[in-house]
Structure 1
């Protein structure tokens, strides 16, 4: 059984007992979260597609922790001008354990 869920504007394909790195959410470690924007549910070959969401479907999970992603280097240069800029960025994520998918 899997579901496609909209979490903070991004779509994730989730199954039970799976870890998902979602965009940063408010909440402490160990807090439970529910996602009600379920776009699709597949229950052993029976697919139900929402218009735009599946009514009555919920995905619940637990926040494991808040982590940072890999560093992305942004380097700008203009040749023969002496212009160089180097900048880095690390995106914040929330690690979520998907506990149940219910219809």
Structure 2
């Protein structure tokens, strides 16, 4: 019994000693409102660092371009159309150098070389096979009588190069020849004289 009472007294003394030491070794943390000290241990402070606010973009910097309305676009197109003369809705099929071409007034085309024609010369093409307008079609038999196509010569040039290669096996024969066909660029200025030719009966007026 004496030993048990001694052990109890020792345990109580030890427990009281442990409580006192824990209270002394672990004091309650106190919050300090003072400014954090600069140094290596400054990150351990409880106060959070203040971040700078992101700069806002000024709305006045972006300027939207004014959109053109349909009325303004229509007015601009009407003014542009008034400056240009109305294009005649007509086309023709002509024959130049054994080839047939579809021509329109104001457009250009490349034909075989016209030997006697110089640059800026006015030429007349009489082999008109067909003339078509908005209301009538004039079909030639074989040509449309009195119909002429007026054109102006713009330039005398050459087509792209064509390579001709000849080869014979086991004969040591090889030929590599390049050729550029001469051509003439003409611009159609007008189609006249077809009104006197009778219109095709198959096309309604």
What TM-score, normalized to structure 1?
Answer: 0.94
Q: Confirm or deny that 1:23 pairs with 2:112.
A: yes
Gaps of 5+ in 1: none
Structure 2 equivalent of residue 84 of structure 1:
174
Q: Confirm or deny that 1:14 pairs with 2:103.
A: yes
Query: Secondary structure, in 3 states, of the residue corresponding to 2:180?
Result: strand
Q: CA deviation at 1:18?
A: 1.0
Q: CA deviation at 1:87?
A: 0.5
Q: CA deviation at 1:45?
A: 4.7
- Higher Cα radius of gyration: 2
CA distance in structure 1 between the aligned counterparts of 2:135 and 2:99, rounded to whole angstroms? 24
Structure 1 equivalent of residue 94 of structure 2:
5
Larger RCO: Structure 1 or Structure 2 (Cα < 8 Å, ≥ 6 residues apart)? 1
Q: CA deviation at 1:17?
A: 0.8
What TM-score, normalized to structure 2?
Answer: 0.49
Structure 1 equivalent of residue 157 of structure 2:
67
Q: CA deviation at 1:80?
A: 2.7
Task: Report the aligned-residue RMSD.
Answer: 1.0
Q: Deviations over 1:27-79 (max 9, x none)?
A: 21101000011000111152111001001111000000101000000001112
My pick for the range that moved more, 30-39 or 3-12, is: 3-12
Query: Secondary structure, in 3 states, of the residue corresponding to 1:17?
Result: coil
CA distance in structure 2 between the aligned counterparts of 1:84 and 1:36, rounded to whole angstroms? 45
Structure 1 stretches (4+) deviating beyond 3 angstroms?
A: none
CA distance in structure 2 between the aligned counterparts of 1:17 and 1:64, rounded to whole angstroms? 13
**Going by fraction, where is strand more abundant, 1 or 2?**
1
Q: Say how many residue pairs are matched.
A: 103
CA distance in structure 2 between the aligned counterparts of 1:87 and 1:59, rounded to whole angstroms? 37
